[in-house]
């Protein structure tokens, strides 16, 4: 049984529909190309609050009616380790499709077969949500050992607003966002500019009760190598305005050394209704001579008022509210496209090795001296590789495969499954098939919240490529591989004919499983970008860019898992993991050490077990707002977790 979805009417969808329709008309028995195509994600309602039950909807296409959807799984919201006051969660949706049985359906007519899948998520905690919907296409017959032959990915984000169905003063949350987008970056720069340029960003407000006015201060403290005495004259505020959400309000502001003091008020009775979004737009002039680097943006003393003058408290946070103002290119931009990436590294390698006007004209040489010693040599290659790996600018979202197929034989793919090597570690292999024009590749390794990339190594039988990688604080890692010279290895095949392709290189990835992960997750190759030997764009001839993580690891010690949600209002889920059956005690204590609730005291089966605390004590009375401690006792394991109950 297939779930149907009316295809979206965008230009790409229309073009794809016409293409498939032409195949159907001209060749009714044409064998469909094996492809996985998830296209859209949405939620209902479109702007949910804590009061709403949320429904997730995933839509896409199958190549033909004889293809089958074998499974649809949606994971529970996973908290992400974001720096900011608003909690962020990731929801992963997985669609599993299967090719037809060639024995029973040898002639499968190519007709687009839309599908629409839905899953009830229920009420979700307050915060930002990032949805990743992936479709894997498996060959027939598929079993647990089968590897997908194609995959596709769609990302979608939404926000669950404050609780509008109950009365109360509530609280307010401030944050920083990219100008005009409302997006609060998980990592990287809130705003970027060059010395002598202008940097702009927005201040956001999330409030669950009407706001009549507020005052705050935005501070950019000294840092990035600037002298303390000169800093206030290097990054200077020039504009503070109200955004459309704050229509009817007036803004007064003044500069005070490294702080910008701001008051938002109304003389006409305007009110900021409950919601979330930008309320202020700020711009700074970054003067010539400002040292390149990353400058933190923070809030000073802040006061929020209701329309009648009552104070609205700031919401409790688990991390400092902070943005980043980045000054500089963020990499070695030799080709002038605004970012430093693998294409620029290849141009720099040619510039160093050949030092001719063809490969190293003045326009390139001007940006090639990374270490500033007036020479372009191998030290600048190392400098630019490190600078590119550490910068966010060259790692933005882009398509891993260009339209159509390249005549080049280069491809990037996972080789074999991810294999567990211990109770909390696994190993994956990424193969890089290098064609005649291969010059280099860069990509991101991302295991979500299920695991962290702990170590990356490289094996190149041809010894013609160099390798470097950079771990990130959130558990991901950036990888860069590039040819050391313009010469392409020539080898003979079984017939004696020469081959102009390099031998396959391999990247070995060691992953450390998150102790608190409750879902097996996946490992993805994100932001894949290639370069030819001359630094031009290299498109890859397909590849496998996602692979599931192991579903089972060797036994580990018992452990309590993070409560979800935490903080919570009405109830929270408390889970634990056992490698084998054991007697378990789970109790909730208050800050004075008094027993509030016994959730479990007795035998438990192996695996992940979930308990729910409804905020009541053992007598059925509602517990007061505040901090509580969950004590988990299983065998020789004794662990404690802090949880916070809000009103």
DSSP class per residue in 19-45: HHHHHHHH-TTPPPP---EEEEEEEES
Q: Report the distance separating Cα 560 and Cα 640, nearest Å.
A: 8
pLDDT at position 337 is 62
pLDDT at position 437 is 82
Bigger pLDDT: 228 vs 339: 339
pLDDT at position 16 is 43
The answer to whether the CB of 160 falls within 8 A of the CB of 127 is yes
In the block, tokens 């109770």 appear at: 423
The answer to whether the CB of 511 falls within 8 A of the CB of 419 is no
In the block, tokens 């799984």 appear at: 73
In the block, tokens 């001296």 appear at: 369
* Rounded average pLDDT over 2-21: 40
The answer to whether the CB of 512 falls within 8 A of the CB of 502 is no
pLDDT at position 185 is 62
The answer to whether the CB of 49 falls within 8 A of the CB of 162 is yes
Give the model's confidence band at 119: pLDDT under 50 very low, under 70 low, under 90 confident, else very high.
very high
pLDDT tops 70 at residue 409: no
Q: Report the distance separating Cα 469 and Cα 390, nearest Å.
A: 10
Dihedral sign computed on CA atoms, order 297, 303, 308, 310: positive
Q: Report the distance separating Cα 395 and Cα 414, nearest Å.
A: 20
pTM of the model: 0.42
The answer to whether the CB of 632 falls within 8 A of the CB of 598 is no
pLDDT tops 60 at residue 629: yes
* Rounded average pLDDT over 572-587: 88
Give the model's confidence band at 257: pLDDT under 50 very low, under 70 low, under 90 confident, else very high.
confident
Q: Report the distance separating Cα 139 and Cα 397, nearest Å.
A: 29
* Rounded average pLDDT over 383-389: 85
Paired tokens of 123 = 């009420």
Q: Report the distance separating Cα 187 and Cα 444, nearest Å.
A: 14
Of 279-288, 294-303, 324-333, 372-381, least confident by mean pLDDT is 324-333
Helices 342-354, 378-390: inter-axial angle, 10-degree rounding: 170
Report the b/e string of 491-501 with b at 16+ CB within 10 A. eeeeeeeeeeb
Three-state DSSP at 551 gives coil
Give the model's confidence band at 319: pLDDT under 50 very low, under 70 low, under 90 confident, else very high.
low
Torsion, CA 365, CA 370, CA 376, CA 378, rounded to 10? -140
DSSP state of 393: G
Dihedral sign computed on CA atoms, order 185, 188, 190, 192: negative
pLDDT at position 487 is 44
pLDDT at position 241 is 95
* CA geometry: angle 264, 267, 269, nearest 5 deg: 95
Which DSSP helix (H) or strand (E) runs through 378? helix 378-390
Three-state DSSP at 275 gives strand
* Rounded average pLDDT over 169-195: 77
pLDDT tops 50 at residue 226: no
DSSP state of 233: G
Residue-averaged pLDDT of the chain: 79
Of 235-239, 329-333, 443-447, least confident by mean pLDDT is 329-333
* Rounded average pLDDT over 2-23: 40
41-55, 57-71, 582-596, range with greatest mean pLDDT: 582-596
Give the model's confidence band at 162: pLDDT under 50 very low, under 70 low, under 90 confident, else very high.
low
Report the b/e string of 101-123 with b at 16+ CB within 10 A. eeeeeeebbbbbbbbebeeebee
- Could you tell me what percent of the chain has a pLDDT over 70? 77
The CA R_g of the chain, rounded to the nearest whole Å, is 28
Identify each DSSP E strand in 163-211 by its residue range: 172-178, 191-193, 198-207
Paired tokens of 406 = 């390249």
Q: Report the distance separating Cα 332 and Cα 71, nearest Å.
A: 45
pLDDT at position 357 is 58
pLDDT tops 60 at residue 376: yes
pLDDT tops 50 at residue 572: yes
Listed residue (113, 111, 116) closest to 24, CA to CA = 111
The answer to whether the CB of 94 falls within 8 A of the CB of 113 is no
* Rounded average pLDDT over 562-584: 86
* Rounded average pLDDT over 292-318: 84
Bigger pLDDT: 111 vs 85: 111
- Could you tell me what percent of the chain has a pLDDT over 90? 26
For residue range 484-521, what is the model confidence (pLDDT) as tens digits? 765 444 444 434 333 445 678 999 999 988 866 655 68
Bigger pLDDT: 582 vs 369: 582
């Amino acid at each position: 049984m297939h779930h149907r979805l009316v295809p979206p009417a965008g230009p790409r969808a229309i073009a794809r529909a016409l293409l498939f329709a032409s195949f159907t008309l001209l060749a009714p028995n044409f064998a469909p190309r094996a492809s996985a195509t998830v296209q859209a994600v949405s939620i209902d309602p479109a702007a949910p609050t804590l009061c709403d039950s949320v429904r997730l909807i995933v839509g896409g296409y199958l190549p033909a009616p004889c293809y089958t959807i074998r499974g649809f799984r949606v994971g529970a919201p996973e908290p992400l380790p974001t720096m900011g006051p608003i909690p962020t969660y990731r929801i992963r949706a997985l669609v599993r499709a299967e090719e037809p049985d060639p024995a029973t359906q040898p002639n499968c007519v190519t007709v687009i077969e839309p599908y629409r899948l839905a899953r009830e998520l229920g009420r979700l905690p307050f915060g930002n949500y990032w949805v990743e919907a992936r479709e894997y296409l498996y060959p027939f017959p598929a079993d647990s050992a089968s590897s997908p032959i194609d995959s596709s990915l769609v990302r979608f984000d939404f926000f669950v607003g404050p609780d509008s169905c109950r009365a109360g003063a509530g609280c307010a949350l401030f944050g920083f966002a990219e100008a005009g987008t409302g997006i609060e970056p998980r990592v990287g720069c809130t705003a970027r500019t060059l010395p002598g340029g202008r940097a702009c960003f927005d201040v956001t407000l999330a409030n669950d009760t009407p706001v009549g006015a507020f005052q705050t201060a935005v501070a950019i403290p000294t840092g990035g190598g600037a002298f303390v005495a000169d800093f206030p004259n290097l990054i200077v505020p020039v504009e503070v305005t109200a955004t459309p959400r704050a229509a009817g309000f007036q803004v007064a502001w003044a500069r005070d050394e490294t702080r910008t003091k701001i008051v938002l008020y109304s003389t006409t009775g305007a009110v900021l209704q409950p919601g979330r979004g930008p309320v202020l737009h700020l711009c700074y002039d970054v003067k010539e001579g400002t040292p390149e680097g990353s400058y933190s943006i923070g809030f000073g003393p802040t006061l929020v008022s209701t329309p009648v003058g009552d104070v609205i408290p700031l919401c409790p946070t688990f991390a400092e509210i902070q943005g980043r103002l980045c000054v500089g290119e963020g990499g070695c931009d030799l080709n002038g496209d605004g970012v430093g990436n693998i294409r620029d590294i290849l141009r720099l390698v040619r510039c160093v090795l050949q030092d001719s006007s063809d490969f190293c004209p003045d326009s390139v040489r001007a940006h090639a001296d990374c270490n500033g010693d007036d020479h372009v040599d191998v030290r600048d290659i190392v400098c630019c590789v490190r600078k590119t790996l550490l910068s966010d600018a060259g790692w933005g979202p882009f398509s891993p495969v260009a339209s159509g197929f390249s005549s080049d034989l280069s491809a990037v793919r996972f080789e074999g499954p991810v294999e567990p090597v211990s109770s909390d570690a696994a190993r994956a292999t990424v193969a890089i098939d290098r064609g005649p024009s291969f010059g280099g590749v860069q990509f991101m390794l991302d295991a979500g919240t299920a695991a962290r990339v702990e170590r990356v190594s490289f094996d190149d039988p041809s010894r013609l490529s160099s390798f470097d990688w950079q771990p990130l604080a959130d558990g991901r890692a950036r990888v860069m591989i590039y040819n050391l010279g313009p010469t392409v290895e020539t080898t003979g095949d079984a017939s004696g004919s020469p081959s102009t392709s390099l031998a396959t290189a391999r990247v070995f990835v060691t992953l450390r499983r998150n102790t608190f992960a409750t879902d097996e997750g996946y490992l993805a190759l994100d932001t894949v970008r290639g370069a030819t030997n001359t630094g031009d764009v290299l498109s890859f001839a397909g590849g496998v860019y996602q692979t599931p993580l192991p579903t089972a690891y060797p036994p580990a010690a018992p452990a309590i898992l993070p409560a979800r949600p935490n903080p919570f209002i009405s109830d929270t889920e408390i889970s634990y993991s056992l490698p084998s059956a054991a007697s378990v005690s789970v109790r909730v204590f208050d800050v004075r050490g008094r027993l509030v609730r016994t959730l479990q005291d007795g035998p438990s089966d192996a695996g992940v077990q979930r308990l729910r605390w409804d905020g009541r004590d053992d007598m059925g009375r509602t517990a007061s707002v505040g901090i509580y401690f969950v004590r988990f006792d299983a065998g020789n394991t004794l662990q404690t977790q802090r949880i916070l109950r809000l009103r």
